[in-house]
Structure 1
Amino acid sequence: MKRRVVVTGLGAICSAGRSVQELGDAVAAGRQCFSRIPDPRLQHLRAACAGLISDFVAEEHVHDPQIRELDRFVHYAIAAASQALSHAGLTPRDLNADMGLVFATCSGPMQTIESHYARIIQGKPSLSANKLFAKKYYSGAHALCRTFGIKGPSVTVTTACSASAGAIGIASDMIRCGMVKAALVGGSDTFSSTTIAGFDGLKATAEGMCAPFSKPVGLNLGEGSGFVVLEDASHARARGATVVAEILGYGLSNDAHHCSAPDASGRGQALAMERALAQAGLSREDIPYVNAHGTGTAANDKAETKAIARIFREKAGSLAVSSTKSMIGHCLGAAGCLEILAAIACAERGVYPPTANFRGAREGCSLDYVPDMGRAWQGRPVFMSNNFAFGGNNASVVVRAGSERGAAVEDAADQPDTAVCITACGTVTAAGLGPDALIAAARRGESLAGEKRWGPVTAPAGIVPPIDERSVDRRLDVRGMDRPSRLATLAARCTLTAASYPDRPKDLARVGFYLCIAGPPSGPEEEHITSLLQEDFRISQVQAFPYVVPNSIAGNVSRALSLTGHNTVLCGGKGIGLLGIALAAKAIEAGHVECCMAGAVDELSERIMADEISAGADVNGSAPRGEAATWLMLENAAHAKARHAEVLATIRGSAFASAAGESASWEEHFSRTVKRAITTAGIAPADIGA
């Protein structure tokens, strides 16, 4: 059964206001909600204003003292999520493991990270365990689960500026395929000095207030958080919830083109839009309005205009298109959700959101951008919302707005179950290249963790030895990549080879790619932030900036291997790789792709180890640190059979739960999760052999 996914709760905080009502009022009126950037270190930048939140008091929203110590992006998230849950009338604890969380962010704990590098420069690098955790991109998800008692699967999507749009799609898959009955979904980002300096160094910022598709060219950054509560339609109906919208479909893609610039042809963006329409079961004629990514930069606005024209063809000229960023700025990882909330709020008011500050169309921008003032919504309250990102990660979501209480909404027709199998594996570990090397070392009982000096401390570590990429594929070029990107590319190429998958671009476009990580590449992060702090924010080179975001790894792999298919990046702690495999399997079940590479990569750098040692981690304990990259090729069983692939295993079932929202003991929590996995697999405990 492919279930319908409805929206029953909304929450927002941004420069336009502290609620979805205030956001909708501002956007419908075309009001630009910008203020001057107050940081004196940034006064020499082109960027003079941003969509900033004023007078936010964390203590009014965050009551747990430990969570108050976390980064401000977490506090924004709790404020918006609380609104959404209250609006939905839903208490997550009541649903136990049937309610999940899909959180999203771009820069995440960047204010905390900046403060840490400032202390390092001052010769005060020490970290408490709490501050080390506060630097994690997934700290927000943990805090949300703990605050609201969410006990189901929890994951953080880190695809930069498309993150929360992708999160809504991934959560809808979880519900459609029966993984959960409901999910809290949203994104959050704060204004960051090093982030605005990076955009300014790329000459991507506007000198005044932005004017997407018009003049002046350039973006304004914003900050904020947006959340929705998604539910299985039958669950919402049974509890008499008010439905405010429905998620009809979504699409993901990767440009496989450039670290920061979009493919000028708009092809990659058009793929995401095309896939969203396909899952929604709609044609271009069914969409009267597109909420554009619309950053205001010359490259982005031109490429998106081409992508929209490519998809909507002769209808493009009569299509209403506008940019919410013209009013609240570019809110990065929160942008997708906030912009969908704004469009829902405007649809309820019966007006298209406008593009504010519009002074005539810019060259290459030839559509109807709803200039300056909203106008009457024509036709059905259905819209497409686009968000595109550094690293080439694109997301499009198709939404139907409209309220209904306890309506007799029906699920989609039954569809045959989709068996998902594993047909290949590729690894890069301390044992070397390929799973055979790892298995051989295990059979010999060989430890792969050699002693290594980490500053003042010696500790064992499993470090990947040098590997000649030409031994993997003589066409492969990993020069210039950071370490996790090199490891991930080698392992992914090995996986494609082991799967005997064809190398033609049209075939590779059908391969999904789910990348799981614990954190971003440490090298670019350290280079970008320390150079700014040491040079008083007068940056002379910006090569590192596009690679600070966690999804830069996926972008590097996708470009090297021409992967333009269903593509996302998931961040978490231990076990995120397993959850990524399960979510990739759900993407196959939902029909986004017939095959998908799912796996994980993490490096072990001097910076990472220095932080762990500083925070008091037991690096000489029973579990040595290590680095590796591993991918599995997952396939629809029918697809694998049609191409005569060898089936190594079949995924029978899975279950995931968040311990952060649990009051029970860890043992009880783990036992329930294992039992749930066995139940979903349709087997008995006695059937498990290992």
Structure 2
Amino acid sequence: MGILSSLADNIVDFKQALLNKTCGVKDSARFSEWFENARAAEILHEIDYSDIPEDILKSQDNAALWAYKVSKDALTQAGLINDQASLDDTGLVVGVSSAGTEAFLPLFEQRIKDFSLKKAMYSGGFSSCCSSVSTLLGLKGGTELVATACTASPNAIGIAYDFIQNGKGTTMLAVGTEPIYLPTFAGFYALNVMHEESCTPFSGTSGMSIGEGAGAIVLEEYEHAIARGATIYGEILSYATSCDAYHETGPDPRANGAVQVMNKAMENAGITPEQIDYVNVHGTGTEANDRIETMAMKKVFENTDKLQVSSTKSFFGHNIGAAGIVELISCLVTLPEKHLLPTLNFTVPRPNCDLDYVPNEFKEKEVNIFMKNNYAFGGNNCCIIVSTKPGTTPVSSYNPKRVAISGLGAVSAIGHTVNEILDHIWNNNSAPDLGSVEFYEDTLEEAKELLEVLDTTGQFKELLGDDYTVANVLPQNEPNFKTFQVQNLEPRKHLRRFDARKATRGGTFALISLAETLNLAQRKIKRDGHELGLVMGMSRGPQETTYKYLQSLKPDPRKVRTSEFPGSLMNSIATFCGISEGIKGYTTTLATGQNAALGALAYGYEIVRQQLQSQVLVGGADEYFPSMALYMDAVTQKIQMSPKAEDYQIYSDKAQGYMSGEGACMLLLEDLESTQARNVEIQAEIVGYGKSNSTTYFDASQIDEKSEAMSLAIQRALKDAGLTTKDIGLVCGTSNGAVDSVKIELGAIHRIFKDENAQVPVVNYNGYFGFVESCAGLLNLAMIIDCLKKQAIPAIPYTENFCDGRINFVRTPLKAEIKHALLVGANEGGNYYAFIIKG
């Protein structure tokens, strides 16, 4: 384990601070500049980062640095820090709520002169902390970023747990990291839910205390840990997630989602409520949370006379994305010694709060099995069941299920349904009219000021070369700058009910594609929404809502618009879809960047394969928005400015960056036997997948190493499926078309197929859609499914001259016998996916 908290920066001191009943909530010098009575549990320790090269250190934000610190401590305690063979197979799952924020604080804190382009490049992505930590520690098992706000870190633990349960590896690193930034503090402050002193969960005056922190735990397959003589601090028996599908911020007043998640977690572990010795609750201190959480426990535990629960937020505040893992570590360092954590500051219980909350003092109690609960905005719920006495609880088991795709839906620039898209590709094949890019005046003014700062400080030349000058940058509303945009969409033609007031552009795309998916799969949601899960993969998220929220911070963050606060979170689109359709099962949002929906596909596959949920929707969505990020992507020539779709030529020998697209794609994953029993057409079957990541995040020149890392993902997928390269009849890449992206992808394909299947057909259909960041992989998968059905392959669009003579690109439509297809994808930080799809 590794810990970083307002209480301490190491496990030993953290444990002692808990035993001393230390409260880390203090007056905040940082936030008192803007807010009266600003209180927070802040990390003020001097942390030694001397082992990180100075140039890399300057490019990192606290989210990444804290994650690195606790991860290194956890791997050191586990005895794995120098075991490169183990690190090569160790994956990383990070939970965080407001990642990628610090680099852009100068823009909305009105100190633009402090902006660092290097920090924005290496720490400005939501999942960049994953790339930084995996590179610095040498982890190669693949990464994921969970973005479900206050349940992010326990959900990250659950995903890591599933990865081991499914036999994909023996060790995983689960991390939560959450610095407090102005947008988060201002949002909670404006909601009027902050306690003026220190939170007093379940008693006294209601209100939360915000905190920051980080925690990491090494998860290891039990027998593997025993075999190498590892010290075991606890055993995770199970976990579960759910969704209230009720409200964007408020919990379900009937507590149904909280009840469901606890019962499901116990069912997964094969235990009963009577076996739970203690519950570490979410316990924020707000009136609604404490009352409804108490109600939920009364419904789950029929005999509450002996039930003891407590909130450790009374020690170190609400650590948001890192809350669950920091609280879990609190339990793991105290409960084995029979110390039951108290709820500090406890006074007079509030109405309807009448359980034993272990008020103020530690109690001595023998605890074997305990429950850790967390809840989040959007109705995301997570429950983990843990034993402090490893090996004493009977092992639960499952029979691995085959996973079918029983439904799919999509919205893109060339069609608002899958059939429209396919019709365009097979019968029309004309390039779509692109949508113009028009930046807001305040964005242009801010961009002009920022560019002057970057030029004056020499940051352009440092990062982009001597030939790059401000004179090269994007003129105001350049008429030739266009993107693949969804046009003439009428949501009410596709949806039974649609609330335009609550629907963002990306949320609308997601909901329309979700409805099409359910319709094709003949799945109607009545009162069984708890039997259907939803996993979304996000890249840039709800950009317009985030823009409005951040703009409202200026000039006075005390007057921030709270209506946009919950909608700016990465999990807001999943929330919108869940509420709209009544989806209440396993619900998660991954924000791993480009191709994040492939991470959602892997997680959904795990859930169905283990019978945790018989049906799971997986997908991604992106919306066009003329943001500062889009402007800077054009300035740095990451994307190409062109008025014509035909200029976006994938695998071309004259690559000029990619062209942005918007849209959504959703799939319904289902137990294959269940699909057959319902007499529903099986669209395809997922028969295996592999993940990996490179460790060259800070060195863009290491193309061969990155390509080798993608090759490893393909090898793992083939092994998982029990196939060889000879069995693959089609390879589909998802490169965005940029030079390095193409070299990595084609290099991996050549490396794997050159000996036994060098002439395997290779395609990539991003040219049809534009690069729809989060779900490029799923849009291409929709095309693969059609290829498997028709035994025919459409050509790669627009590309005139291909860049690699070793590859058999599909230049004209062809007939082919295809039984298995390989889909590969990558994100911008060097995380790689490979899936084997069977027709």
Structure-2 separation of matches of 1:451 and 1:563: 33
- Counterpart secondary structure, 1:438: helix
Counterpart of 1:629, as a letter, is A
- Report 1:292-441 matches (<5 A): 292-314=281-303, 316-378=304-366, 380-402=367-389, 412=395, 415-441=398-424
Structure-2 separation of matches of 1:604 and 1:32: 45
- Report 1:288-687 matches (<5 A): 288-314=277-303, 316-378=304-366, 380-402=367-389, 412=395, 415-443=398-426, 444-448=428-432, 450=434, 452-455=436-439, 456=476, 457=478, 458-506=480-528, 508-535=529-556, 537-539=557-559, 541-607=561-627, 608-620=629-641, 621=656, 623-660=658-695, 665-687=705-727
- How far the C-alpha of 1:326 sits from its partner, in A, is 0.5
> Greater shift after overlay, 13-22 or 570-579?
570-579
Confirm or deny: 8 A CA contact 1:42 1:197 kept in the other structure.
Answer: no
> Greater shift after overlay, 86-95 or 607-616?
607-616
- Counterpart secondary structure, 2:194: coil
* Structure 2 partner of 1:4: none
Counterpart of 2:280, as a letter, is N
2:211 alignment partner, one of 178, 202, 222: 222
- How far the C-alpha of 1:543 sits from its partner, in A, is 0.6
> Greater shift after overlay, 221-230 or 394-403?
394-403
Confirm or deny: 8 A CA contact 1:264 1:302 kept in the other structure.
Answer: no
Structure-1 separation of matches of 2:489 and 2:669: 26
- Counterpart secondary structure, 2:352: coil
Structure-2 separation of matches of 1:64 and 1:511: 48
* Structure 1 partner of 2:200: 211
* Structure 2 partner of 1:33: 24
Identity value in percent: 28
Counterpart of 2:430, as a letter, is E
Counterpart of 1:347, as a letter, is L
Structure-1 separation of matches of 2:146 and 2:695: 18
Give CA deviations for 1:76-102 in whole Å, capped at 9, x if unaligned: 111111110001011363126521111
Structure-2 separation of matches of 1:64 and 1:129: 13
> Greater shift after overlay, 21-30 or 295-304?
21-30
- Counterpart secondary structure, 1:543: helix
Give CA deviations for 1:480-532 in whole Å, capped at 9, x if unaligned: 222211211111111111111022022x2211101001133122222222212
- How far the C-alpha of 1:360 sits from its partner, in A, is 1.9
Name the CA shift for 1:221/1:371 in 2 (closer, same or farther; >3 Å): same
* Structure 1 partner of 2:181: 192
Confirm or deny: 8 A CA contact 1:514 1:584 kept in the other structure.
Answer: yes
- Report 1:18-57 matches (<5 A): 18-39=9-30, 42=33, 44-45=35-36, 47-57=37-47
2:69 alignment partner, one of 68, 79, 89: 79
Name the CA shift for 1:272/1:562 in 2 (closer, same or farther; >3 Å): same
Give CA deviations for 1:243-270 in whole Å, capped at 9, x if unaligned: 1111101110011111111112211111
Gaps of 5+ in 1: 1-9
- How far the C-alpha of 1:559 sits from its partner, in A, is 0.5
Structure-1 separation of matches of 2:160 and 2:342: 29
> Greater shift after overlay, 85-94 or 22-31?
22-31
Say whether residues 1:65 and 2:88 are aligned partners.
no
Name the CA shift for 1:170/1:604 in 2 (closer, same or farther; >3 Å): same
Structure-1 separation of matches of 2:106 and 2:612: 41
- Counterpart secondary structure, 2:711: helix
Give CA deviations for 1:409-461 in whole Å, capped at 9, x if unaligned: 99947643310000110111112311112222222333346152344333231
Name the CA shift for 1:683/1:17 in 2 (closer, same or farther; >3 Å): same
- Report 1:53-202 matches (<5 A): 53-57=43-47, 59-60=49-50, 62-63=52-53, 65-91=55-81, 93-95=84-86, 97-118=88-109, 128=117, 130-202=119-191
* Structure 2 partner of 1:6: none
- How far the C-alpha of 1:127 sits from its partner, in A, is 6.9
Name the CA shift for 1:665/1:279 in 2 (closer, same or farther; >3 Å): same
Counterpart of 2:45, as a letter, is D
Confirm or deny: 8 A CA contact 1:187 1:227 kept in the other structure.
Answer: yes
Structure-2 separation of matches of 1:349 and 1:136: 41
Confirm or deny: 8 A CA contact 1:449 1:460 kept in the other structure.
Answer: no
Structure-2 separation of matches of 1:530 and 1:149: 38
- How far the C-alpha of 1:58 sits from its partner, in A, is 5.8
> Greater shift after overlay, 176-185 or 54-63?
54-63
Counterpart of 1:107, as a letter, is S
Confirm or deny: 8 A CA contact 1:93 1:148 kept in the other structure.
Answer: no
Structure-1 separation of matches of 2:397 and 2:337: 35
Confirm or deny: 8 A CA contact 2:126 2:593 kept in the other structure.
Answer: no
Confirm or deny: 8 A CA contact 1:187 1:337 kept in the other structure.
Answer: yes
Structure-2 separation of matches of 1:430 and 1:389: 34
> Greater shift after overlay, 418-427 or 64-73?
64-73
The structure whose RCO (Cα within 8 Å, separation 6+) is larger is 1
Structure-2 separation of matches of 1:267 and 1:317: 22
- How far the C-alpha of 1:71 sits from its partner, in A, is 1.4
Counterpart of 1:513, as a letter, is L
Confirm or deny: 8 A CA contact 2:104 2:115 kept in the other structure.
Answer: no
- Counterpart secondary structure, 1:606: coil
Structure-1 separation of matches of 2:100 and 2:52: 16
- Counterpart secondary structure, 2:49: helix
Name the CA shift for 1:130/1:30 in 2 (closer, same or farther; >3 Å): closer
Confirm or deny: 8 A CA contact 2:156 2:175 kept in the other structure.
Answer: yes
Confirm or deny: 8 A CA contact 1:423 1:645 kept in the other structure.
Answer: yes
- How far the C-alpha of 1:476 sits from its partner, in A, is 3.1
Confirm or deny: 8 A CA contact 2:535 2:588 kept in the other structure.
Answer: yes
* Structure 2 partner of 1:688: 728
Name the CA shift for 1:680/1:17 in 2 (closer, same or farther; >3 Å): same
Say whether residues 1:238 and 2:260 are aligned partners.
no
- Counterpart secondary structure, 1:624: coil
Name the CA shift for 1:128/1:447 in 2 (closer, same or farther; >3 Å): farther
> Greater shift after overlay, 552-561 or 106-115?
106-115
Counterpart of 1:431, as a letter, is I
Q: What is the aligned residue count?
A: 670
Structure-2 separation of matches of 1:634 and 1:62: 42
* Structure 2 partner of 1:11: 2
- How far the C-alpha of 1:40 sits from its partner, in A, is 5.8
Confirm or deny: 8 A CA contact 2:80 2:87 kept in the other structure.
Answer: no
* Higher Cα radius of gyration: 2
- How far the C-alpha of 1:566 sits from its partner, in A, is 0.5
Give CA deviations for 1:453-479 in whole Å, capped at 9, x if unaligned: 344333231111232222112323343
